[in-house]
Amino acid sequence: MQQYVVHLAALESRGDRRLLDVGCALGHFAALARGRGWQVTGIDVSAEAASRAALNFGLEVRAGPLSRHVDTLHRFDVVFLGDVIEHVPHPAQFLRDVRRVLTPGGIVCIDTPNWGGFWRRWTGRRWVGLNRYHINLFDAESLTRLLSASGFDSITTGSYTHYRYEGWAARPELSSWVNRLPAALAWRVGRWLAKLGRRSPFRPLIDHAPGDNTAALSMVDALVGAAPSRSFAGKLSGDNLITCAARK
> With helix as H, strand as E and coil as C, how does the chain read?
CHHHHHHHHHHCCCCCCEEEEECCCCCHHHHHHHHCCCEEEEEECCHHHHHHHHHHHCCEEEECCHHHHCCCCCCEEEEEEECCHHHCCCHHHHHHHHHHCEEEEEEEEEEEEECCCHHHHHHHHHCCCCCCCCCCCECHHHHHHHHHHCCEEEEEEEEECCHHHCCHHHCHHHHHHHCCCCHHHHHHHHHHHHCCCCCCCCCHHHHCCCCCHHHHHHHHHHHHHHCCHHHHECCCCCCEEEEEEEEC
Residues 183 and 62 in one domain: no
More confident residue, 96 or 221: 96
Residues 83 and 188 in one domain: no
pLDDT band for position 94 (cuts 50, 70, 90): very high
5-9, 188-192, 209-213: segment of lowest average pLDDT: 188-192
Residues 159 and 171 in one domain: no
117 in a structural domain: yes
- For position 207, what pLDDT does the model report? 82
- For position 198, what pLDDT does the model report? 61
Residues 90 and 181 in one domain: no
More confident residue, 142 or 176: 142
Query: How does pLDDT run across 191-246, given as a tens digit for each residue?
Result: 887 777 666 788 888 888 888 888 899 899 888 888 877 778 888 999 999 999 99
- For position 197, what pLDDT does the model report? 64
pLDDT band for position 63 (cuts 50, 70, 90): very high
- For position 102, what pLDDT does the model report? 98
Decide if 160 contacts 238 (C-beta within 8 A).
Answer: yes
Please check the confidence at residue 90 and state whether its pLDDT lies above 80: yes
- For position 131, what pLDDT does the model report? 92
96 in a structural domain: yes
Query: How does pLDDT run across 144-186, given as a tens digit for each residue?
Result: 999 999 999 999 999 999 988 888 888 888 887 888 888 888 8
Residues 135 and 243 in one domain: yes
pLDDT band for position 110 (cuts 50, 70, 90): very high
101 in a structural domain: yes
140 in a structural domain: yes
Range of the domain at 69: 2-163+213-247
4-8, 14-18, 74-78, 207-211: segment of lowest average pLDDT: 207-211
- For position 113, what pLDDT does the model report? 97
Q: Structural domain tally of the chain?
A: 2
111 CB-side CA count, 13 A? 21
Decide if 138 contacts 146 (C-beta within 8 A).
Answer: yes
146 in a structural domain: yes
Q: What is the mean pLDDT of residues 67-86?
A: 97
Residues 234 and 135 in one domain: yes
Residues 158 and 171 in one domain: no
208 in a structural domain: no
Residues 123 and 241 in one domain: yes
Residues 57 and 138 in one domain: yes
More confident residue, 166 or 118: 118
190 CB-side CA count, 13 A? 14
118 in a structural domain: yes
Residues 23 and 50 in one domain: yes
Query: How does pLDDT run across 20-61, given as a tens digit for each residue?
Result: 999 999 999 999 999 999 999 999 999 999 999 999 999 999
- For position 228, what pLDDT does the model report? 75
CATH assignment of the domain containing 117? 3.40.50.150
Please check the confidence at residue 120 and state whether its pLDDT lies above 70: yes
Residues 7 and 73 in one domain: yes
206 in a structural domain: no
Residues 182 and 147 in one domain: no
